[in-house]
Structure 1
Amino acid sequence: QSSIEMPRNPNSFLADRVVFDKLMIYNGDVPDLTPLVLSGEMDYLTHVFPASSMQAFERMGYDFIQLPGVDGLAIYFNHELQPLDDVRVRQAIAHVIDRERIGRLALPGVSVGVRYATGLGDAVAENWVDLSRVNPYEVDLEGAAALLEQAGLSRRNGQWHLADGSRFTLALQCPSGWADASTAAAEAAQQLTAFGIRTEFVGIESTQRVPNINSGNFEIAMSFFGTGQPHPVYAYEGPLVASNRTAAGPGISFDMVQQTEAFGRVDFDQLMRESVRGWDVETQQQAISRIAIAYNETLPTLPVYTKESRNLSSNGLRTTWTGPQELYLNSAGDDNFVVYQLLHGMIQPK
Structure 2
Amino acid sequence: MPGSPYTALMTSPLAFYYWSDGSWDKYLATDWTLDKDNSTLTVKLRQGVKWSDGTTFNVDDLITYLWIARAKGYMVWRYIDSFERIDDYTIKFKLNSISPVVEYYILRIMPQPRSVYGDWAKKFEDLYTTYKDTVKKLNELKGEELNKFKETAEYKEFNDKLKALLDEFDTFRPTDYVASGPFKMDTQNITEAQLTLVKRPDSWVADKVKIDKIVIYNGETAQATPLVLDKKLDFVTHAFPPATEQQFIQMGLRIIRFPYYTGPAIFFNNNIYPFNRVEFRQALAYAINRQEAGTVALAKSGVAVKYMSGMSDNLLDIWLDKDTINKLNQYEYNPAKAEEILKSIGFQKKDGQWYDDKGKKLEFELMVPSDFLDWSAAADNVAQQLNNFGIKTSIRGVVWSQYTTEMNKGNFQMGFLPWGSSTPHPQFAYMAALLNYNGGAKGNKEMPGQNFPLVQEYKGEKIDFDELITEVGKGDMEYQKQIAKKLALAFNELLPIIPLFERYSNAPVLDGVNVTGWPPEGDPIYKNGSADSFLVPLIMNGTLRGVDNK
2:487 is matched with which residue? 291
Contact 2:195–2:216 under 8 Å retained in 1 = yes
CA distance in 2, matches of 1:221, 1:232: 23
2:536 is the counterpart of 1:320: no
1:27 positional shift: 3.1
2:451 is matched with which residue? 253
CA distance in 1, matches of 2:196, 2:281: 48
SS in 2 for 1:17: coil
CA RMSD between the two structures: 2.6
1:303 is matched with which residue? 499
2:313 is the counterpart of 1:119: no
SS in 2 for 1:108: helix
SS in 2 for 1:93: helix
1:30 is matched with which residue? 224
Amino acid at match of 1:19: K
Query: Please, which of 258, 266, 290 is the counterpart of residue 99 of structure 1?
Result: 290
- Structure 1 residues 51 and 64: alpha-carbon distance in aligned structure 2, compared to 1, 3 A threshold: closer
1:145 positional shift: 1.8
Contact 1:257–1:267 under 8 Å retained in 2 = yes
1:211 is matched with which residue? 405
1:53 is matched with which residue? 247
2:537 is matched with which residue? 340
SS in 2 for 1:44: coil
CA distance in 2, matches of 1:327, 1:284: 25
1:281 is matched with which residue? 477
SS in 1 for 2:417: strand
Question: What per-residue deviation string (whole Å, max 9, x for no partner) do you get for residues 287-339 of structure 1?
Answer: 2232222112111110112221222335566422459933211223x321111
2:386 is matched with which residue? 192
CA distance in 2, matches of 1:174, 1:226: 18
2:358 is matched with which residue? 164
Contact 1:174–1:181 under 8 Å retained in 2 = yes
Contact 1:74–1:302 under 8 Å retained in 2 = yes
Query: Please, which of 2, 12, 15 is the counterpart of residue 203 of structure 2?
Result: 12
- Structure 1 residues 316 and 176: alpha-carbon distance in aligned structure 2, compared to 1, 3 A threshold: closer
Contact 1:43–1:313 under 8 Å retained in 2 = yes
Question: Which has the larger displacement, 233-242 or 22-31?
Answer: 22-31
2:336 is the counterpart of 1:142: yes
Identity of aligned residues (%): 33
Query: Please, which of 365, 368, 371 is the counterpart of residue 177 of structure 1?
Result: 371
Amino acid at match of 2:449: G
1:73 positional shift: 0.6
Amino acid at match of 1:268: F
CA distance in 2, matches of 1:19, 1:123: 33
Contact 2:291–2:302 under 8 Å retained in 1 = no
1:88 is matched with which residue? 279
CA distance in 2, matches of 1:152, 1:329: 46
2:151 is matched with which residue? none
Question: What per-residue deviation string (whole Å, max 9, x for no partner) do you get for residues 95-144 of structure 1?
Answer: 10111111111233432222222222322334333421211001222221
CA distance in 2, matches of 1:264, 1:188: 34
SS in 1 for 2:330: coil
2:467 is matched with which residue? 270
CA distance in 2, matches of 1:229, 1:283: 19
1:68 positional shift: 1.8
Q: Radius of gyration: which is bigger?
A: 2
CA distance in 1, matches of 2:527, 2:273: 40
CA distance in 2, matches of 1:167, 1:347: 57
CA distance in 1, matches of 2:371, 2:545: 37
Q: What TM-score does the superposition give when structure 2 sets the normalisation length?
A: 0.57
- Structure 1 residues 346 and 288: alpha-carbon distance in aligned structure 2, compared to 1, 3 A threshold: farther
Question: What per-residue deviation string (whole Å, max 9, x for no partner) do you get for residues 165-185 of structure 1?
Answer: 222222212233332222222
1:65 is matched with which residue? 256
CA distance in 2, matches of 1:68, 1:316: 24
2:194 is matched with which residue? 3
Contact 2:279–2:341 under 8 Å retained in 1 = yes
1:202 positional shift: 2.6
Q: What TM-score does the superposition give when structure 1 sets the normalisation length?
A: 0.87
SS in 2 for 1:283: helix
Amino acid at match of 2:299: P
CA distance in 1, matches of 2:196, 2:399: 31
Query: Please, which of 527, 538, 550 is the counterpart of residue 329 of structure 1?
Result: 527
- Structure 1 residues 320 and 207: alpha-carbon distance in aligned structure 2, compared to 1, 3 A threshold: closer
Amino acid at match of 2:495: L
Query: Please, which of 405, 414, 417 is the counterpart of residue 220 of structure 1?
Result: 414
CA distance in 2, matches of 1:265, 1:325: 44
1:65 positional shift: 1.9
CA distance in 2, matches of 1:157, 1:66: 45
1:46 positional shift: 1.7
Question: What per-residue deviation string (whole Å, max 9, x for no partner) do you get for residues 67-118 of structure 1?
Answer: 1241111111111221111101110111101111111112334322222222
Contact 2:257–2:301 under 8 Å retained in 1 = no
Question: Which has the larger displacement, 146-155 or 80-89?
Answer: 146-155
Contact 2:245–2:506 under 8 Å retained in 1 = no
1:131 is matched with which residue? 325
Amino acid at match of 1:342: I
